[in-house]
């Protein structure tokens, strides 16, 4: 790596019980520490989150409740001279999407453990931001990448739709694992456990469950019984059309809130 290090560079990644730093927990932390003198150290440690790991999270990273039942909680490993906070202090940080996720959840876990990590005078290098800044994800970039040509008539409706059709055809040719059935292709592009395209409703432990806001973790069945006005508010304000029918069915007392 051609970085001229002034401080140790700690490249790290976390696996967690979910995606909300306020409520979710780290269950695995892996680091590669590079030092200015050329040294390199690798560490990986699992933790018992003291809360159940949702099945949809296990489907992503493969770590189950049984895998971590005998591991120490994060808080036990956070402090002290050999603790996580001490190991991270004074290091520049690097990773993939650490700005958006890994750093916030690490800071939240340290705070819960009574520890702090001052990031004021360190460098944070996010490979995801380098990727998106150098490889734009807009239609112009997609046309050049997949079709090998510049986008003609950019930002005209017809020009954009013709380019999109060509990009889609090229994607289907390039990735032979993409389904050729439109319904199957639609479903394949959703994250694991997502019921609707926005991920507002997810299948957790066999139940259709809210994944955001103050009712995160509650099932449609529970909300239809206890807070029907909240579901009506969702229909009006927060969900796309593909989730509305599910919520309407739950409000009508159907069995749509449960997956067999």
DSSP 184-200: HHHHHTSPTTBSSTTSS
Residue 79: the pLDDT is 94
Residue 239: the pLDDT is 62
Torsion, CA 12, CA 15, CA 19, CA 23, rounded to 10: -100
Ranges for all domains in the chain classified under CATH 3.30.420.10: 9-130
Tokens standing for residue 173: 């040719």
Residue 1: the pLDDT is 67
The CATH T-level fold of domain 9-130 is Nucleotidyltransferase; domain 5 (3.30.420)
Q: Are 205 and 55 in contact (CB under 8 A)?
A: yes
Mean pLDDT across 228-252: 80
Residue 198: the pLDDT is 76
Rounded CA gap, 27 and 50, in Å? Answer: 10
Kindly list the distances between the CA atom of residue 11 and the CA atoms of 83, 122, 163, 175, in Å, as whole numbers in the listed order. 17, 13, 38, 31
Neighbours of 255 (CB within 10 A): 10
pLDDT at 259 over 50: no
pTM of the model: 0.65
Q: Are 167 and 142 in contact (CB under 8 A)?
A: yes
Residue 90: the pLDDT is 93
Torsion, CA 69, CA 74, CA 75, CA 81, rounded to 10: 120
To the nearest whole percent, how much of the chain has pLDDT over 90? Answer: 47
Looking at per-residue confidence, does 155 or 210 come out higher?
A: 210
Share the mean pLDDT of the chain: 87
Residue 137: the pLDDT is 82
Tens of pLDDT along 216-239?
899 999 999 899 998 888 887 656
Tens of pLDDT along 55-66?
989 988 999 999
């Amino acid at each position: 790596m051609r970085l001229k290090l002034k401080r140790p560079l700690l490249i790290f990644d976390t696996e967690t019980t979910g995606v909300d730093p306020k409520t979710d927990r780290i269950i695995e932390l892996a680091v590669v520490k590079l030092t200015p003198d050329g040294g390199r150290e690798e560490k990986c440690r699992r933790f018992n989150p003291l809360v159940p790991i949702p099945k949809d999270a296990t489907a992503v990273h493969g770590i189950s409740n049984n895998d971590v039942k005998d591991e120490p909680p994060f808080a036990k490993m956070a402090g002290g001279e050999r603790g996580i906070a001490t190991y991270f202090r004074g290091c520049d940080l690097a990773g993939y999407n650490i700005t958006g996720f890994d750093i916030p959840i690490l800071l939240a876990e340290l705070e819960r453990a009574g520890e702090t990590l001052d990031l004021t005078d360190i460098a944070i290098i996010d490979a995801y931001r380098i990727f998106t800044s150098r490889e734009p994800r807009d239609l112009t970039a997609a046309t050049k990448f997949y079709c090998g040509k510049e986008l003609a008539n950019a930002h005209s409706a017809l020009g954009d739709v013709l380019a999109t059709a060509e990009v889609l055809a090229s994607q289907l040719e390039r990735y032979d694992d993409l389904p050729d059935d439109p319904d199957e292709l639609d479903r394949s592009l959703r994250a694991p456990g997502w019921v609707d395209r926005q991920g507002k409703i997810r299948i957790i432990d066999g139940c259709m469950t809210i994944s955001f806001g103050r009712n995160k973790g509650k099932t449609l069945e529970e909300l239809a019984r206890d807070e029907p006005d909240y579901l009506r508010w969702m229909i009006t304000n927060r969900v796309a059309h593909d989730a509305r029918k599910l919520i309407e069915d739950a409000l009508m007392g159907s069995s749509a809130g449960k997956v067999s």
